[in-house]
Amino acid sequence: MVECETATFLNFIKKRSDKIETYLSTWGDFERGMMLALESGYTGISFQYKYDEEITKEHVQLLHKKGLKIQLWTVNDENDILEAISLNPDFIQTDNINFIIDNNLK
């Protein structure tokens, strides 16, 4: 899995291996990130959680419907982790792994 905000790098990875998933990092512009990921044939988007634009369960469902995945980053607050899990993303990036383990949230 590779995530990057630079299409040139993601395209480089895509050309070298079809086994590596590519995620376009977005900075709060969900619609633009989704459209660029679709147009470029990326696996999905990497979306900074609670940065500029709120992500909803409907956003995640729309991405999945279009065949894309989503990873949310950086989700460290315990309440944010629980909220993010409820959105059903494909991945959550966190530095609070102890909370995940202690609450059996695998």
Taking only the tens place, the pLDDT of each residue in 44-65 is 999 999 888 889 999 999 999 9
Homologous superfamily of 2-102 in CATH?
Phosphatidylinositol (PI) phosphodiesterase (3.20.20.190)
Q: Which long-range contacts (CB under 8 A, 24 or more apart) does 79-83 make?
A: 80/49, 80/50, 81/105
How confident is the model at residue 60, as a pLDDT? 98
What is the model's pTM? 0.93
> How far does CA 38 lie from the centroid of its chain?
14
Provide the percentage of residues in the chain whose pLDDT is more than 90.
87
Sorted by where each begins, the domain ranges of the chain are 2-102
Residue 46 neighbours by CB under 8 Å, 6+ apart = 3, 23, 24, 25, 26, 70, 71, 73
Q: Provide the pLDDT confidence category of residue 27 given band limits of 50, 70 and 90.
A: confident
Q: Which helix (H) or strand (E) holds 24?
A: strand 22-26
Q: Which phi-psi region, left, alpha or beta, contains residue 41 (left: φ > 0; alpha: ψ -120 to 50)?
A: left
